[in-house]
Chain A
Amino acid sequence: MRRSDPSARRLDGYAPLRDYAAIGDGRTVALVARDGSVDWLPVPDLDSPTVFAAVLDDERGGRFVLEPEVAYRVERRYLPDTNVLETTFHTASGSARVSDALTLPGEGLEPFRELQRRIMGLAGTVRFHWRVEPRFDYGGASPRFGRRFGLPVAGCGADAVGLIAFGAGASAAGWSGAFETAHGSSHLLVLSMAHQEPLVFPSRGELDARFERTGEIWRRWTAERTYDGPWREAVIRSALALKLLVFSPSGAVAAAATTSLPEEIGGERNWDYRYSWIRDSAFTLEAFLRLGCPAEARAYFWWLMHTTQLDAPRLGVLYGLDGRRRASERELSLHGYRGSRPVRIGNGAADQLQLDTYGELMQTAWLYAEAGNMIDHDVGRRLGGFADFVAANWRTADSGIWEVRSEPRHFTQSKMMCVVALDRAVQLAERGSLPRRHLDRWLREAAAARRFVGSQCYSERHRSYVRSAGSEELDASVLLGLLHGFGDDAARLSSTVDAIATGLAEGVLVRRYSGGDGVPGSEGAFLACSFWLVEALARIGRVDEAADRMDELVGLANDVGLYSEEIDPAGEFLGNLPQGLSHLGLISAAAAVAEASS
């Protein structure tokens, strides 16, 4: 995917969210703007405090600027089949390319984390300037600056960064500089990062080899993916984006790589998404299986079953990437993206009751077993406990998939997913993966919940399942219930799809729901819902309509194929990015259209 458009632009110091590309190493993710500035980098892990957070505070957040000194035009792409970013700057005097990567670990003595920025002259000359402003703890801590072997270092508590420059015209202080590229010239800036250990300063040869190896590992990973259907380029890019969100040390998958990128510019709908939501588990596992990632699927399922162990038979809404159940929410004194405050870390939704998560987890277990994996006795016993919990509690009001902060309600999608949970428990028990002693109860309660949804959650006026029992509001999440196997009434499924397509969609973009949620302000269209509608259309046989929508949605990705959580009518990104659920929706919708077409 290679496009070009007018040179990068900032508003009040903030780049449009659409301008960000993501690079990562399976532990952390950095955001790189079109103008070459690294504006987000938590260290050492994706959910750690940041070294660079200019995307949340232009003045205090810290950044790594690398930009031509004169007017330029930008072209960007990922190096094919990798998460290595290439930004090509074209100026009146020449062109140069910046290649950015968080390098992947090998066998040798390497920095704990490493950001490489390699600059190569392509034609003529381009004069660059660069500046590194390391801040720690989301800009809230004062670093101690110094020098080691003549190289600039900055430290704070257990964290430190050091800068290594080759041919980059470093200033006396070492944290900034300027240089000029010529045809074929090579320049290198490396940020070596340490956590609870000394800094490592690699040689030029080691750096070159590691950069090459990083590209090779990504290419090898991509070559192993088996998807060969339509929109393959977008699906593979989504797979690579999803892989960035896989926290390799544990197998957990983060919902997004950032916190508090706003759902409304200037608004307060700013949340920390650097956690793993059970809600996303079925889509995640299915995507791994569809893409031919058995190792990731297995690691994710093991992580899910291991990390939910202490809460069983209840489920947390979300878990830390290291498996810890701590997500206490607090606000940081940062300016926020274009004044969107508060900036939050942690997530208060962790303590909500969300019944849909049980359906998601049971669906995940079902998909895992269907793929030929064994569910052992201990896991089966625990899954049986979740089903028992659902059988006993499906009548309870909850906060629903959208985590409303208003009073709990009887959300339709939650009840649908309770039915899915019990149905899957019955199926797993019948194949011997779960204990059978409560089978009759699961069957009885599934039937009762199904009757409740059919009688209380369907509006004859809208000819659609609605947001909650007795309401007349629409909710795109009911598509999810239908996609995961709730109900067998084809007419109701079809009319619900129509109602959402007319009531919540503007063009191809679909809003989450109508009605309030207990948080002031509004939001954009939700990209995952837009993809769910495509998948639902494909499932009911309206393949051409689904494909047309899909074409348009694929065209809404940014220049490097990434999506955030939401998008406004002008096409600007809103919310955290890259957003796993958006990319999962794309993968699932593409596969559904492919299946329906064949």
Chain B
Amino acid sequence: MTVAGALAGGLIGTLVLTSLMRAANELKLTRMDLPFLLGTALSGNRARAKAVGYALHFCFGLVFALGYYAVFAAIGSAGWGLGAAFGLLHGVFAGTALVNVLLPVVHPRMGSPMTGAGDAPLLEPPGFMLRNYGVQTPLVAIAAHVAYGSIVGGFSSLGG
């Protein structure tokens, strides 16, 4: 189990997660667009926001992989299945708290349930389990995170 393996898993996992979410966009399963949500925190220009968002998204993918690695190291075990379980937890956490509650609070262009008539935010809040972006969004998001977690877990275990 190595940090390099976890980081490699984070990179590949983020690639897969992003591709799955993008494919779900095209298949009209969800309006969820994580790079766009992240990028618009820094720019109101849609095109620039997407470019910045992709960079941020991959950084976060690597940071989360390090977090996974820390837990794998603490319990002395890693693998595809364990990673998938972490990914499931990660996906549920993202839908219930991370993106649902925390992102609207810190995102300068996103509305939250507390946004009042004095403001005019540009982005609708995601809602519980991100369902504002389409009723299939929870399934898509969780499946993508399970794939991410599995890859991080698998690569971590492969790395020596």
B31 to A, closest residue via Cβ: A309
Q: Is A365 an interface residue (CB 8 A)?
A: no
Chain B positions within 8 Å of A303 at CB level: 124
Q: Is A396 an interface residue (CB 8 A)?
A: no
Asked whether A310 lies within 8 Å of B121 as measured between CB atoms, the reply is no
Asked whether A299 lies within 8 Å of B122 as measured between CB atoms, the reply is yes
Nearest Cβ on chain B to A105's Cβ, whole angstroms: 4
Q: Is A127 an interface residue (CB 8 A)?
A: no
Asked whether B118 lies within 8 Å of A112 as measured between CB atoms, the reply is no
Contacts A250-B124, A302-B122 given; indicate if A310 touches B134 (C-beta within 8 A). Answer: yes
Q: What is the count of residue pairs linking A and B with beta-carbon distances less than 8 angstroms?
A: 104
Nearest Cβ on chain B to A44's Cβ, whole angstroms: 7
With the chains together, A87 CA to B144 CA distance in Å? 56
Chain B positions within 8 Å of A432 at CB level: none
The B contact surface, by secondary structure, is loop
Asked whether A27 lies within 8 Å of B122 as measured between CB atoms, the reply is no
Asked whether B111 lies within 8 Å of A298 as measured between CB atoms, the reply is no
A250 to B, closest residue via Cβ: B124
Asked whether A251 lies within 8 Å of B111 as measured between CB atoms, the reply is yes
Chain A positions within 8 Å of B118 at CB level: 26, 104-105, 217, 221, 248
The A contact surface, by secondary structure, is loop
Q: How large is the interface on B (under 10, 10 to 19, 20 to 34, 35 or more residues)?
A: 20 to 34
Say which residue of A44, A307, A325 sits within 8 Å of B113 (CB atoms): A44
0 or 1 for each of B1-36: is its CB under 8 Å from A? (1 = yes): 000000000000000000000000000111100000
0 or 1 for each of A297-326: is its CB under 8 Å from B? (1 = yes): 011001100110111100000000011111
Chain B positions within 8 Å of A246 at CB level: 117, 120
Interface members, chain A 81-121 (any B CB < 8 Å)? 83, 104-105, 112
With the chains together, A311 CA to B28 CA distance in Å? 7
Asked whether A302 lies within 8 Å of B123 as measured between CB atoms, the reply is yes
Q: Is B43 an interface residue (CB 8 A)?
A: no
Q: Is A75 an interface residue (CB 8 A)?
A: no
Q: List 9 A-B contacts (CB under 8 A).
A: A244-B117, A249-B115, A310-B28, A322-B125, A323-B124, A323-B132, A323-B133, A324-B132, A378-B46
- Apart from A26-B118, A249-B124, 19 more pairs, CB < 8 Å: A24-B117, A26-B117, A44-B113, A112-B113, A195-B113, A246-B120, A248-B116, A249-B113, A296-B120, A298-B120, A298-B122, A306-B124, A307-B124, A322-B124, A323-B124, A323-B133, A324-B132, A324-B135, A376-B46
